[in-house]
Amino acid sequence: MSITSLSVSELRDQLVAKKISPLEALDALEARIADTDPKIHGYLSRDYQAAKALAEKADISLPLGGVPIAIKDVINVQGEPCTAASKILEGYTSTYDAGVIRKLKAAGAIPFGRCNLDEFAMGSSTENSAFGRTMNPWDFSRIPGGSSGGSAAVVAADEAFASLGSDTGGSIRQPAALCGCVGLKPTYGRVSRYGLIAFASSLDQIGPFTKTTRDAALLLNVIAGHDAHDSTSLHEPVPDYTADLGKDLKGIKLGMPKEYFISGIDPQVDQSVRAAIKHYESLGAEIVEVSLPNTEHAVGVYYIIATAEASANLARFDGVRYGRRAGSEKLLDMYADTRAEGFGPEVKRRIILGTYVLSSGYYDAYYKRAQKVRTLIRNDFNRAFEKVDALICPTSPEPAFKAGDRSDDPLKMYLADIFTIATNLAGIPGISIPCGFAETDGRKLPIGLQLMGRSFEEARLLQIAHAYEQSTDWHKARPGV
């Protein structure tokens, strides 16, 4: 087994046993990336020398001592680029560490590599990056999902032991499903957003991509917890998320939301997810049908609230304080030209839409009404969790699609997140784990199973996910890059 194919927990065992040094692990990654990333383009940049300096003094006794972790290029790491895959931040170097980066470094981890994404995390395919699209390691003609497509692709291709991404409407879980790895979106407020370039502040959450559920638990142990720099970070105790891994599912009730099993799902996805649900029954879980009646409004609500918050958050990118600046002589021209040159088409589209729904005469009709329906969606989940411990459904309605297939159809692209968006609106945790493959054009494409849980019950969610993972072999499959 090569070093780069190891999971985080396996690498930790090797490091502690002194069979591998942190520098050897880093060098193996660098060689793997040099060999495979030209085909995938999962990374935007890497600073080997900075990572080497951390590896040489890594404290192996710490929880993640000596483990390199890739970072989505929307999370600030001091001294590293942070472009959000946008021309408007091209050349910008971060002056501070995000809250999660401080926690990773304190746990001995080595931030290594900046992963590609849809510009400002706005997209579902990682085709909106100003610096080139990322390809799916299972089929180079297909997308890896988005917006954290780079973070998912590098883990799936063994170019990273684990990575961090952000999830605003499914941007961790959907690419994890399409690339065949584990993606965890924690409860809103569970992980600090300090140092994350904001897209939609009431929806954004940072979480891990990993090769196993145990690795996801290990990373969550480190990055979870209150951060005084983030006013939305909550004072909740952080349990040991690995403690319940391996427990059986006796007494566990899993809810099948009928609104998530609809016509239009790819038949192979539907078959694989239903097979996974039957497998859960064989493991001792009870399956209960539940209803989330306001699900049909989730996409519309999301694209009102998310764009409204984006239009406010992205107002700071004006060419005055940092990033790209147009060479216009007049101030107002400089503002307009900077944003016109710096933002890509999808970002402009969402800023315009968000400004519209917040404008005088339309605020009540759109934004205010969307917030009311968001409450109804949250209430649907609360009622469902009175009957079940977690919800189970597909992560994505279809496997990875061909690059370019939806570039001219934004509405069809938006529906790629139809099963993940409501989780962000409700603020609850969700996880995607591999559950099968679709055969398309002679290629195997991963299928993801999504589990959603009550707020701050990530430990229960990980326990349920781990039980399925360890009784199947789907998570062991690797693309033949």
Q: Which residues, listed in sequence order, are joined to residue 433 by a DSSP beta bridge? A: 449
Task: Look at residues 179, 171, 174 and name the one whose alpha carbon lies nearest to residue 42.
Answer: 179
Contact criterion met (CB below 8 Å) for 159 and 179: no
The candidate with the shortest Cα–Cα distance to 477, out of 272, 284, 266, is 272
Beta strands in 189-345 (DSSP E): 205-210, 253-257, 286-290
Amino acid at 324: R
DSSP reduced 3-state for 389:
coil
**Among 94, 124, 171, 455, which one carries the catalytic annotation?**
171
Identify whether the C-beta of residue 128 lies closer than 8 Å to the C-beta of residue 227. Answer: no
Amino acid sitting at position 126 = T
Q: Is 45 annotated as catalytic?
A: no
Using an 8 Å Cβ cutoff, are 177 and 446 in contact? yes
Candidate list 7, 147, 148, 455, residue with the active-site label: 147
> Is 147 a residue of the active site?
yes
Residue 2 bears catalytic tag: no
| Burial (0-12, 13-18, 19+ Cβ within 10 Å), 386 | exposed
Rounded-to-integer distance, Cα 478 and Cα 158, Å:
8
Using alpha carbons only, give the angle 417, 420, 421 rounded to the nearest 5 degrees: 80
State CA 408 to chain mean position distance.
24
Per DSSP, helices labelled H in 73-172 are: 99-106, 149-156
C-alpha angle with apex 242: 238 to 247, nearest 5 degrees? 125
Using the CB atoms, write b or e for 164-201: b if 16+ within 10 Å: bbbbbbbbbbbbbbbbbbbbbbbbbbbbbbbbbbbbbb
Active site residues: 72, 147, 171
